[in-house]
Amino acid sequence: MGKIDADVLITGAGPAGLVLGNLLRAAGIDCLILERQSREHVENRARAGFLAANSVRVLTGNGLADGLLRDGARHDTCAFRTDQAEFELKYGELGTGEVHTVYPQQFLVTDLIAEFLARGGEIRFETEVTSVSGTEATVIADDLLLRAEYIAGCDGQHGVSRQSVPARIFRRDHEISWLAILAEAPPSMSAIGYAIHERGFAGHMARTSTVTRYYLEVPRGEDPAAWPDERIWDELHVRMAAGYHGELKRGPIIERRIVDLGSRVMDTIQRGKLFLAGDAASLISPSAAKGANLALMEAEILAGALVAALEKGDTTALDRYSADCLPRIWRAQEFSHWMINLLHSPPGYGDEALFLRGLRDARLESLRVSRAHQNFFAENYVGI
- Residues 80-133: tens digit of each pLDDT: 998 778 999 999 999 889 999 999 999 999 999 999 999 999 999 999 999 999
DSSP structural state of residue 268? -
Q: What are the domain boundaries of the chain?
A: 6-76+98-171+262-337
> What are the angstrom distances between the C-alpha of 145 and each of 11, 137, 142, 162, 273?
14, 10, 9, 19, 16
Contact 62, 26 (CB under 8 A): yes
* Whole-number pLDDT of residue 137: 94
The phi, psi pair for 35, rounded to 5°, reads: -130, 130
Distance CA 272, CA 180 (A): 38
pLDDT tens readout for residues 253-282: 999 999 999 999 999 999 999 999 999 999
pLDDT tens readout for residues 234-243: 999 999 999 8
For residue 1, pLDDT over 50 is answered with no
Could you give the percent of the chain with pLDDT greater than 70? 99
**344 half-sphere exposure, CB direction, 13 A CA radius:** 21
3 CB burial (10 A radius; 0-12, 13-18, 19+): exposed
Whether 75 is catalytic? yes
Whether 349 is catalytic? no
* Whole-number pLDDT of residue 3: 79
Bridge-based pairing of strands 31-34 and 122-124 is parallel
Rounded to two decimals, the pTM is 0.93
Q: In what order do the strands lie in the sheet with 78-81?
A: 86-89, 78-81, 192-195, 202-206, 212-218, 168-183, 253-267, 282-283
Catalytic residue among 91, 103, 194, 321: 194
Distance CA 253, CA 233 (A): 9
Catalytic residue among 75, 273, 337, 344: 75
Whether 91 is catalytic? no
Could you give the percent of the chain with pLDDT greater than 90? 88
Catalytic residue among 100, 204, 290, 337: 290
Hey, which CATH number is domain 6-76+98-171+262-337, 3.20.20.70, 1.10.3720.10, 3.40.190.10, 3.50.50.60? Answer: 3.50.50.60
Lowest mean pLDDT among 47-51, 186-190, 295-299: 47-51
Rg (CA), the chain: 21
Banded model confidence at residue 231, pLDDT cuts 50, 70, 90: very high
Query: What number is the average pLDDT over the span 303-310?
Result: 98
Contact 275, 153 (CB under 8 A): yes
| CA nearest to 87, candidates 377, 368, 378 | 368
Distance CA 270, CA 17 (A): 15
| CA nearest to 152, candidates 142, 167, 139 | 139
Catalytic residue among 91, 150, 214, 381: 381
Whether 381 is catalytic? yes
Whether 286 is catalytic? yes
| CA nearest to 267, candidates 331, 333, 322 | 322
| Mean pLDDT across the chain | 94
* Whole-number pLDDT of residue 353: 86
Catalytic residue among 245, 286, 321, 344: 286
